[in-house]
Chain A
Amino acid sequence: MMTFFFQNLVNALQWGSFYALIALGYSMVYGILMLFNFAHGDIFMVGAYIGFGVATGLTALASAGAVALPHWLVLVLTILISMFLTSFVGMAVERFGYRPLRDAPRASAAITGLMIGIILETANLALLGARRISFPPLIRSVTYDIGGVYVTNKKIMIVVVSIALMVGLHQFVRRTKWGMAMRAMAFDFVVVPLMGVPLNTIAAMTFALGSALAAAAGILFAVAYPVLDPYMGIVFGWKAFVAAILGGRGSVLGATLAGFLLGFIEIFVAMIFPSTLRDFIAYSIILLILVFRPHGFFGEPYSARLRL
């Protein structure tokens, strides 16, 4: 029983890291612009596809003998290059989808985000066709047996890389000048630009950071479940959105914790109950949490003037 529990704990950590990485993107954008980037789930998908392209290219290079790269280095390079490339997708979404709507009602921006998501999915479908793509196996799977709990090196890698990225983000936000600008903007995005902090640059940078994290999540997901399809971002996007809200809007720590919590709830519900009931019970729990704690874990309390 204990080993069964720990086995699921490992899986939950893995799923939780996907949700947490994506939820961070939602939360950061919310912190600055007070809106949710509904295209974020699809940026996760685009990131996975870009990762696919980069990984294929790098393995082709390596096998052609042009450069000798060990497998782990290919993976690291794939993650870094894809994060870099996907951040431009995020900046483009901000520039063309959200910047013209900065003064519009927030629901309009939400609709724009949804529509950008549909465009990204369809563009992918049009470019690559409707077949599913299998991600190249970059590292060989090794299974360790720790006291009856089976842990693959992929799972360890996923959890370690995600936690490293989250810590890196935290350090960036806390220690650098740009991070300080972001925090200032989150504090008041009307007055802070008057102090000479460029709103547009900071907004673009936030989108870029969030998209880079989503791309990392996409590649990590593809390493664990190497089948990509254009609609894979929808479910992840909405669930990470739920996690971002559950954590309290705009709270980076909250988003991380809620992402892991969501992973735990889903895995453990599937452990105890039939897996078809997973969504039902998971969302009922979330509904209950929000009924009793309507502003999430770390969010500001309810104010009647707050509106969408």
Chain B
Amino acid sequence: MQRPFRFADVMRSTFSQVPFLGWLLGGLAAVTVEHLVGFQLAGLLGMPRVPVLFGCVVMLKKPLLIPAAATFVLLVYVVPACVVARVSAPITNRIASRLLRFPVVLPVLFHLALLYGILEMWSDLSAYRDLTLRLTLISVMLTLSLNVINGYMGEFSCSHPGFMALGAYAASVFTLGLFANDRVFGPAVLPPALGSFVFPFGLFLGGGVAALGALAIAVPSFRTRGDYLAIISLAFMFIVKSAIENLEVVGGPRGLSSHPNWATLPAVFFWTVACVWVIHNFVSSTLGKALNAVRDDEMAAEAMTVNTRKTKVVAFLFGAFWAGVAGGLFAHVLRYVNPGTFGLQKLAEVLAMVYFGGLNSVYGSIVGAVSLSLLGEALRPLEIFKWIIIPLLLILVMIYRPTGLIAFRDFDVKRIIRPRDGKGEQV
């Protein structure tokens, strides 16, 4: 019996052989097309400017422009990306299989460079895209670091906004105190030109301070977990927020502003990649497996010689460190920081990203953070109805996939970049 014609089958047979490298080339082609003819095409289709977020905002704001925006997306993104990816598939497969002969760092760096090129060119066209992209990357870091504690170790930590606040303030004090003229700390001590080289140290400082703060939660976690630890961490978050509000030295409730513009796209991209890499290595290490053991059965883990105390401390410090780094970047992206940002709303946001994307999985965190951040931006024209649609979506995901979209999946970089023509080695 012949199978009925199915669009999905055709798509699968056409594109199943395209390796990741091919898709990157396709993406590069799409953004190049946008750069070359995007403006003219948008004018031709009757749109005032190039649609910033794949046309979502335009479509929701002016329903009459839906055909135009859809055509634009089709012509500029979908068609070039698919055509280039498909046409170049034989070549990219060959390149991919050749790249696999090198140590895995090299091909990964190659792919990352291409990915960065796409993002850079895409965000180059509007300041809004740039900001959205940087904030999205930061939420990837945040989500991933919370996933270490909530997903891999199975706690329910509510203190992430607190860690973030510690990191943001420590990094801000570092840069503002030393390198910028501002109203709280006075004129710059060191030349600002030096600043962007020492910015990483500021972020390290932020992460370190956040990790120190995490000790306040890690130590009680020896004796309790679950709901009580959730409250301890929640109390910690409130304490941090309230303490900063009362510290006039760092601006009190008004916060700090006039950060130098150091958290540019390359910096944020670099730190995000570093975060994904380090966290992936951490959770695949012996210590990372110990996290899962503590989550699944603490007593059995203890009996099997897992040092549960050390595991808990390391996980909390590690998660908090990256949250602090993300907080430092966050403060420098917005170039303004105030304690009100790090409250219950931020908490709900990060928790939603972790549980939407999927527990215990690096993929899940990336997917959750990116999709929820972009969805939040894309649905912005709906105004407050956005806050009905997104929660409903999350509830549906929780009901049908209680552990999140992509949970308990190992992140395997070799699998991503492998050639897919069947000739290369199957990993």
Name the interface residues of B285-308: CB closer than 8 Å to any CB of A.
295, 297-299, 302
Q: How far is the CA of A121 from the CA of B391 in the complex (A)?
A: 11
Binding stretch for chain B, among A55-63, A77-85, A105-113: A105-113
Q: In the bound complex, do residue B225 and residue A290 qualify as a contact, i.e. CB atoms below 8 Å apart?
A: no
Does A294 reach chain B (CB closer than 8 Å)? yes
Interface string of B405-426 (1 = CB under 8 A from A): 0000000000000000000000
Interface centre among A107, A109, A112, A308 (most CB of B within 10 A): A107
Q: In the bound complex, do residue B344 and residue A287 qualify as a contact, i.e. CB atoms below 8 Å apart?
A: no
Does B352 reach chain A (CB closer than 8 Å)? yes
Does B155 reach chain A (CB closer than 8 Å)? yes
Q: Which residues of A contact B348 (CB under 8 A)?
A: 114, 118
Interface string of B141-159 (1 = CB under 8 A from A): 0000000001000111000
Q: In the bound complex, do residue A114 and residue B225 qualify as a contact, i.e. CB atoms below 8 Å apart?
A: no
Taking A126-B385, A246-B231, A308-B154 as contacts, is the C-beta distance between A294 and B224 under 8 angstroms? yes
Q: In the bound complex, do residue A280 and residue B243 qualify as a contact, i.e. CB atoms below 8 Å apart?
A: yes
Q: Which residues of A contact B224 (CB under 8 A)?
A: 290, 294-295, 302
A: number of interface residues (CB 8 Å): 51
Does A167 reach chain B (CB closer than 8 Å)? no
Binding stretch for chain A, among B45-53, B57-65, B393-401: B393-401
Q: In the bound complex, do residue B223 and residue A294 qualify as a contact, i.e. CB atoms below 8 Å apart?
A: yes
Closest to B343 in A: A234
Does B226 reach chain A (CB closer than 8 Å)? yes
Q: Is the interface of B mostly helix, strand, loop or mixed?
A: helix
Q: In the bound complex, do residue B228 and residue A304 qualify as a contact, i.e. CB atoms below 8 Å apart?
A: no
Q: In the bound complex, do residue A105 and residue B402 qualify as a contact, i.e. CB atoms below 8 Å apart?
A: yes
Taking A108-B355, A290-B220 as contacts, is the C-beta distance between A306 and B225 under 8 angstroms? yes
Q: Which residues of A contact B242 (CB under 8 A)?
A: 276-280, 283
Give, as a whole number of angstroms, the nearest-CB distance from B212 to chain A: 16
Q: In the bound complex, do residue A238 and residue B156 qualify as a contact, i.e. CB atoms below 8 Å apart?
A: no
Interface string of B370-404 (1 = CB under 8 A from A): 00000000000000110110011011001100110
Q: Which residues of B contact A110 (CB under 8 A)?
A: 156, 351
Q: Which residues of A contact B230 (CB under 8 A)?
A: 245, 308
Q: How far is the CA of A306 from the CA of B154 in the complex (A)?
A: 11
Interface residues of A (CB under 8 A from B): 36, 97, 100-101, 104-105, 107-112, 114-116, 118-119, 121-123, 125-126, 234, 238, 241-242, 245-246, 249, 274, 276-280, 283-284, 286-287, 290-291, 294-296, 299, 302, 304-308
7 contacts between A and B (CB under 8 A): A101-B402, A107-B156, A110-B156, A111-B356, A118-B387, A122-B387, A277-B246
